[in-house]
C-alpha cells in the first residue's frame, strides 16, 4: 500500500492521473516516507509539523558518525569544524530563500516563536509607535502586542472578511507612527490556509513600517523569495519544513532592521566584551548580538539534508502538487451531505484554491446544522489512523471571526472560567451556540490522494451516525 491506490470510486472523484506530478510524488513517498504505509497512517497535520524523509536521517547519522564536533566559538579543530558547518548551513539557508547575505542576517533559534520573541522584546516601541497586525496571526506574533502595549504604542488589528481574507488591508494599514512602527502578518494563515498578499510587505515598508512576515506556515509548501518580497523580518521552524530536526528555527532579518532593535539583555555568545567590575558590556554586531548561548550545532547540520530534499522536489512542484490535493480535499468536504441532502460540513476560509494553501479548517454539521464537537471528529479520525488536529490552532483571531463569536458573551465566559478554562467548558458556557474549535487537515510533501479519501471516509461515516 503506497497510499496512492484509490480503493473506492467515491469522493474525491477526480483521477490522480490528471496531475503530471502524481507519479513523481508516488515514487518519493515510497522512497522517503514508506513508514507511513507500514504504520497504515494517513498523516494530515503538516501545519503542525512536517514529516522527515528517511534520507535526512541517514545523511545526518553518517555525517555525525564521521566527525568530532565541539562547541563553536573557539579555535580548536573540533570547534572550527562546527563553525564551518554552521556557516555552510547558513549560506544554504540564504540561498534557499534567495536572501542576499549583504542585506540579510540569520539567527538560529529554537523555533519560529523564539525568532519572533527576539524581535518583539527588542523592538523600540514608544507611545507614538504603531503596531499593526493581521487578526489571524498565530499567537506567537499576537503576543508582541504585550510588548507594544507596555510602551503605550497604538495597536491595530487588520480585519478579516467572512472567508478569512484580509479585508482591504492597504486601506486599514494606514501610515506608520512617528515612533518605530511594526506591521506583522502571516504569509499563510495556519488556521484557514489563506495566503495573504505579499505585496503588503512593500506597501507597509513604503509607509514607514518595519514589516515582520511570518513565514512559518508558508515555507513548508511554497517557494519564498526574500530578495523579491523583502520583509524586514521573517521566521521559520525547520521541523515544519522537513520534520527534522525539531527544536531549531531561524530569524531572517534585514541587517538595517536588526540595527534598530534594542536587546534587553546579553548572554553567552552575544557580546564582544563584558566587564563586571566596570559594569559595561558591548554586544556583537548584527545577528551575533541575538544568538543567545550555544546554538543547536548538531541539529543545524541536520538542516542540510532537509533542504536537499526540498530542493530535489522543487518548491514550485511541491506547491502545485499540494494545491491539486487541496482541490481534492475541498471537493471531498464540499461533497459531504447529510441524509436529508443538507451540507455536512462548514469550511472556514475560502472554498477554492485561489490564494490559499494546503490547510483547511472545518466542522462537521449535525442534522440541525450545528457543529459536531471537533473532539468527536478528531477521535474518530484517530481510530481510523488519520491524524488531523482539533482546536483553534493558536489562532484566536481567525477563530473568533470564523465562528462568529459574540464578543460580550465570549469575554464573560473567559472571565468566569479563568483558571478552569478548557475549550469544552468554554463551549458549554457559551450555551453550545457557537463552535469554539474546528478540525484542521493540512497537506504536505508526503500527502497522497488516498490520505484524503481516508479522511473523507471517516467523515462520511460520522455523518451517517
Ligand X SMILES: Cc1ncc(COP(=O)(O)O)c(C=O)c1O
Residues that are catalytic: 394
Give the phi and the psi of residue 388 in degrees, each rounded to 5.
-125, 170
Stretch binding ligand X (CB under 6 A), from 54-62, 213-221, 322-330, 406-414: 213-221
Task: Kindly tell me which residue out of 186, 243, 344, 397 binds ligand X, with binding defined by CB under 6 A.
Answer: 186
The Cα–Cα gap between 99 and 113 comes to: 21
Stretch binding ligand X (CB under 6 A), from 198-206, 212-220, 254-262, 266-274: 212-220
112 or 446, CB closer to ligand X?
Answer: 112
30 or 139, CB closer to ligand X?
Answer: 139
Does 217 bind ligand X (CB under 6 A)? Our answer is yes
Q: Which residue has the cell 451516525?
A: 465
Nearest distance in Å: CB 113, ligand X: 3
Query: Binding string to ligand X for residues 101 to 130, with x set by CB under 6 A, is what?
Result: ----------xxx-----------------
Does 192 bind ligand X (CB under 6 A)? Our answer is no
- Contact, 125 vs 147, CB < 8 A? yes
Spatial CA neighbour of 320 closest among 11, 35, 24: 24
4 or 52, CB closer to ligand X?
Answer: 52
Task: Kindly tell me which residue out of 216, 251, 372, 377 binds ligand X, with binding defined by CB under 6 A.
Answer: 216
The 3-state secondary structure of 23-81 reads HHHHHHHHHHCHHHHHHCCEECECCCCCCCCHHHHHHHHHHHHCCCCCCCCCCCHHHHH
217 or 436, CB closer to ligand X?
Answer: 217
Does 190 bind ligand X (CB under 6 A)? Our answer is yes
In order of 13, 154, 281, the CA distances from 215 in angstroms are 33, 24, 33
For Cα atoms 162, 168, 174, give the angle at the middle one, nearest 5 degrees: 130
Nearest distance in Å: CB 307, ligand X: 17
The Cα–Cα gap between 452 and 18 comes to: 16
Q: Which residues from 266-305 bind ligand X, rule CB under 6 A?
A: none
Other CB atoms within a 10 A radius of the CB of residue 425 amount to 14
Strand order in the sheet with 154-158: 104-109, 249-254, 233-237, 210-214, 182-186, 130-134, 154-158
Does 45 bind ligand X (CB under 6 A)? Our answer is no
How many residues sit close enough to ligand X to count as binding (CB under 6 A)?
Answer: 12
Extended beta strands in 354-407, E state: 359-364, 386-387, 389-391
**Beta-bridge mates of residue 246:** none
The per-residue DSSP string of 78-145 comes to: HHHHHHHHHHHHHHHHHHHTT--TTTEEEEEESSHHHHHHHHHHHS---TT-EEEEETT--HHHHTHH
Task: Kindly tell me which residue out of 16, 56, 135, 140 binds ligand X, with binding defined by CB under 6 A.
Answer: 140
Task: Kindly tell me which residue out of 19, 117, 138, 254 binds ligand X, with binding defined by CB under 6 A.
Answer: 138
Does 135 bind ligand X (CB under 6 A)? Our answer is no
Query: Binding string to ligand X for residues 230 to 249, with x set by CB under 6 A, is what?
Result: -------x------------
Q: Please give the grid coordinates belonging to residue 284.
A: 556583537
Q: Using DSSP bridges, classify how beta strands 233-237 and 345-348 pair: parallel, antiparallel or unpaired.
A: unpaired
Q: Taking the CA atoms of 450, 452, 453 and 455 in sequence, report the sign of the dihedral they define.
A: positive
Nearest distance in Å: CB 337, ligand X: 31
Does 193 bind ligand X (CB under 6 A)? Our answer is no
Nearest distance in Å: CB 97, ligand X: 16
4 or 242, CB closer to ligand X?
Answer: 242
Does 214 bind ligand X (CB under 6 A)? Our answer is yes
Stretch binding ligand X (CB under 6 A), from 75-83, 148-156, 214-222, 287-295: 214-222
The Cα–Cα gap between 125 and 45 comes to: 36
Nearest distance in Å: CB 246, ligand X: 9
Q: Applying CB under 6 A, which residues contact ligand X? A: 47, 111-113, 138, 140, 186, 190, 214, 216-217, 237
Amino acid at each position: 500500500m503506497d497510499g496512492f491506490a484509490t480503493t473506492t470510486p467515491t469522493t474525491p472523484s477526480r483521477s490522480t492521473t490528471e496531475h503530471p506530478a502524481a507519479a513523481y510524488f508516488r515514487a518519493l513517498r515510497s522512497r522517503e516516507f514508506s513508514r507511513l504505509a507500514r504504520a497504515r497512517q494517513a498523516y494530515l497535520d503538516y501545519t503542525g509539523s512536517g514529516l522527515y524523509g528517511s534520507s535526512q536521517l541517514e545523511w545526518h547519522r553518517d555525517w555525525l558518525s564521521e566527525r568530532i564536533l565541539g562547541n563553536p566559538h573557539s579555535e580548536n579543530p573540533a570547534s572550527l569544524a562546527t563553525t564551518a558547518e554552521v556557516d555552510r548551513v547558513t549560506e544554504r539557508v540564504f540561498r534557499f530563500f534567495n536572501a542576499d547575505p549583504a542585506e540579510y542576517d540569520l539567527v538560529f533559534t529554537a523555533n519560529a516563536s523564539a525568532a519572533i520573541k527576539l524581535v518583539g522584546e527588542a523592538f523600540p516601541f514608544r507611545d507614538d509607535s504603531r503596531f499593526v497586525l493581521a487578526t489571524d496571526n498565530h499567537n506567537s506574533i499576537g503576543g508582541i502586542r504585550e510588548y507594544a502595549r507596555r510602551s503605550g504604542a497604538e495597536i491595530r488589528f487588520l480585519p478579516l472578511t467572512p472567508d478569512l481574507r484580509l479585508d482591504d488591508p492597504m486601506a486599514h494599514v494606514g501610515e506608520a507612527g512617528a515612533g518605530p512602527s511594526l506591521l506583522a502578518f502571516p504569509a499563510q494563515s495556519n488556521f484557514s490556509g489563506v495566503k495573504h498578499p505579499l505585496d503588503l510587505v512593500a506597501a507597509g515598508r513604503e509607509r514607514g513600517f518595519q514589516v515582520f512576515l511570518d513565514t512559518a506556515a508558508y515555507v513548508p509548501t511554497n517557494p519564498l523569495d526574500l530578495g523579491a518580497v523583502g520583509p524586514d523580518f521573517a521566521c521559520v521552524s525547520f521541523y515544519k519544513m522537513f520534520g527534522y530536526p525539531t527544536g531549531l528555527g531561524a530569524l531572517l532579518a534585514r541587517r538595517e532592521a536588526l540595527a534598530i532593535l534594542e536587546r534587553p539583555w546579553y548572554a553567552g555568545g552575544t557580546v564582544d566584551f563584558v566587564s563586571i567590575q566596570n559594569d559595561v558590556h558591548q554586544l556583537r554586531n548584527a545577528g551575533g548580538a541575538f544568538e543567545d548561548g550555544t546554538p543547536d550545532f548538531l541539529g543545524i547540520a541536520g538542516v542540510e539534508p532537509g533542504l536537499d530534499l526540498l530542493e530535489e522536489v522543487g518548491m514550485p512542484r511541491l506547491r502545485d502538487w499540494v494545491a491539486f490535493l487541496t482541490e481534492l480535499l475541498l471537493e471531498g468536504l464540499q461533497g459531504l451531505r447529510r441524509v436529508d441532502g443538507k451540507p455536512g460540513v462548514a469550511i472556514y476560509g475560502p472554498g477554492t484554491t485561489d490564494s490559499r494553501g494546503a490547510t483547511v479548517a472545518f466542522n462537521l454539521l449535525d442534522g440541525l446544522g450545528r457543529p459536531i464537537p471537533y473532539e468527536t471528529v478528531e477521535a474518530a479520525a484517530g481510530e481510523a489512523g488519520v491524524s488531523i488536529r482539533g482546536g483553534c490552532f493558536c489562532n484566536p483571531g481567525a477563530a473568533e471571526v470564523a465562528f462568529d463569536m459574540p464578543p460580550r458573551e465570549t469575554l464573560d465566559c473567559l472571565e468566569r472560567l479563568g483558571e478552569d478554562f478548557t475549550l469544552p467548558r468554554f463551549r458549554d458556557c457559551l450555551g453550545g451556540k457557537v463552535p469554539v474549535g474546528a478540525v484542521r487537515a493540512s497537506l504536505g510533501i508526503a500527502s497522497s490522494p488516498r490520505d484524503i479519501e481516508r479522511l473523507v471516509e471517516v467523515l462520511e461515516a460520522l455523518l451517517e451516525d
